[in-house]
Amino acid sequence: MLVTRATLAAPLGRCYVSVMLYSLLGLMFTLVFVVCLALVLLHAFHRSVGTGMMVLFLPPYLVIYGFTQFEHRLKGLILAGYLGGGVLAVVFRSLAWADAIQNRV
């Protein structure tokens, strides 16, 4: 079988597309995570500076604050975006990294 540049580039192109897809999904969920985090932080700082600092520097307190004291008409969506967006961002970025390492893209 004759090995040409076109036959070598075809599998590499598919691998590159999957890495880019995972990276873009990871970045999209990171953006959702950051926006939802900012909404909860703004609410906490409007409540008091001490509460805002605790939410900012203690991530477990952010979850507790979100479920107990955060008041917003879209509270469920914001908390789901924060928790789910953060987890999915890590998962998709890890998949992109693992795919890139495995295929040496």
Res. 3: pLDDT tops 50? no
Using alpha carbons, select from 37, 74, 29, 35 the residue that is nearest to residue 59. Answer: 37
> For the ranges 50-54, 88-92, 98-102, which has the lowest average pLDDT?
98-102
Report the pLDDT averaged over residues 87-100: 91
C-beta separation of 81 from 33 below 8 A: yes
pTM, two decimals, is: 0.79
More confident residue, 69 or 104: 69
- Would you state the pLDDT for residue 94? 92
Band (105; pLDDT cuts 50, 70, 90): low
Report the pLDDT averaged over residues 85-95: 93
For 11, the token pair is 């599998």
Query: Could you give the percent of the chain with pLDDT greater than 70?
Result: 84
